[in-house]
Amino acid sequence: MSDIFISALVVGVSKIEWENNPKMLSSVCLSVIQKWISSDFNCLDKEDISDEMRRDYGRIKQSYFGMINDIYNLSNNYHMLQYFLHNKEIEGGFKISYAQTITENYIFNLRCIYDFLSHFARIFMEPKNVKSYLNTKTYKSLNTFIGYCEKHQKVLPQEIINYYINLKHDLDVIKKIRDTIVHDGKEPFIDIIDNEFSFKVSASNLICNDIIDILSTGNNQFPLFKYLKTLTNTLFNSIEVLGNILGNESHKRNSKFVIERTAISGISIADFKLFLSQN
C-alpha cells in the first residue's frame, strides 16, 4: 500500500494482507459491518421496510464511518504526540501545551468510539424494539444502550446482551476520565520526565490525580503513552470481541455469510500499530 494515501478504507483485502500488512489496521468488527452495508443495507430499497427503520439503518452506517474516522484520528494524535516530544526545535512549554490539547482529543475520540459501538447490535433487533429504544432521549449513548440491555434481555441474543453488560466497566473508566475533563472543569497536566510525557488530570497542578490508576503504578503521575496504549488496546479488544459475536450471529442466520475483509490504512497507521503492539 503506497503512502500516497493519507487515509483510506480498504475493502476486499486478501487474507494474507489482512493479517500481515503492517500498514493496515485490520478489524473483524469493521469487516462484519462492511459486509452488512454492502449486502443488507444496499438492498433496502428492494425491501418492505418502514421509513423509521431505513433511517436507523442509515444511523448505523454513519456510526460505522464515524468509528473509522475516530480510529484514524487516534493514529494521527499519537503521531503528533511523538512528533512534538522528539522535535528539538520546539520549546518545552509549547510541547507541553500541544500535548495537553492532543491528549484531550485522544480521550474524546476513545469515548466517541465506545458510543459508536452501541449502534451495531441494532442490525439484529426487531423493528418494534428498535422503535422502542429510539424513543429514549439519549439513544446514541453506549451507557443508555447498556441500561436498555439490562432491562430488556429478550430483545437480542443473550451473547450480545452479555457483551454489552460486561462492557460497562471499561466504559466507566474512559467515561470517568472524559467527564473529569469536560464536566468537572479539570484538564490534563503534562510534564516531561526522562524525555517522556507523563500526565495527570487535576483541578490544579497539585499532588492529587483525579483519574484511575489503570497501570497500578501507585504514583500520582502516569506515563502518558503507556496509559493511552492501555486504554486503546482495551477498547480495540472489545471491538474485536463484538465483531466475532456479530459475525457468529450473522452466520447462524445465514450459513453462507462470509465477512468482507476490511482494514484502515494511512500514513500514520504503521507507527500506531507498532505502538499498540509494544510491551
Q: What is the pLDDT of residue 2?
A: 46
Please report how many Cα atoms fall inside a 13 Å half-sphere around the Cα of residue 110, on the Cβ side: 30
Domain ranges of the chain: 7-277
User: Grid coordinates 449513548 are at which residue?
Assistant: 141
Q: What angle do CA 212, 217, 218 make, to 5 degrees?
A: 80
Q: What is the pLDDT of residue 187?
A: 77
Q: What is the pLDDT of residue 30?
A: 97
Segments in 6-126 forming alpha helices (H)? 15-20, 28-38, 51-86, 92-120
The rounded distance, in Å, linking the Cα atoms of 191 and 100 is 9
Provide the Cα torsion 44, 49, 55, 57; round to 10°.
Answer: -50
The rounded distance, in Å, linking the Cα atoms of 252 and 124 is 12
The rounded distance, in Å, linking the Cα atoms of 105 and 181 is 11
> 10-23 b/e with 16+ CB inside 10 Å = b?
beebeeeebeebeb
Q: Answer yes or no: are the C-beta atoms of 190 and 100 closer than 8 Å.
A: yes
pTM summary value: 0.93
Helix 269-277 with 224-253: angle, nearest 10 deg: 100
Q: What angle do CA 130, 169, 136 make, to 5 degrees?
A: 25
Q: Answer yes or no: are the C-beta atoms of 3 and 267 closer than 8 Å.
A: yes
DSSP 184-233: S--EEEEEEETTEEEEEEESSSSS---S--TT---SSSEEHHHHHHHHHH
Burial environment of residue 274 by CB neighbours within 10 A (0 to 12, 13 to 18, 19 or more): exposed
Q: What is the pLDDT of residue 203?
A: 58
Helix (H) or strand (E) holding 252: helix 224-253
Q: What is the pLDDT of residue 1?
A: 43
Q: Answer yes or no: are the C-beta atoms of 119 and 87 closer than 8 Å.
A: no
Q: Answer yes or no: are the C-beta atoms of 10 and 263 closer than 8 Å.
A: yes
Q: What is the pLDDT of residue 189?
A: 86
The rounded distance, in Å, linking the Cα atoms of 199 and 96 is 10
pLDDT along the chain (279 residues), means of 10: 67 95 96 91 63 89 97 97 93 93 96 98 95 93 97 97 98 92 78 90 69 88 95 98 98 93 95 94
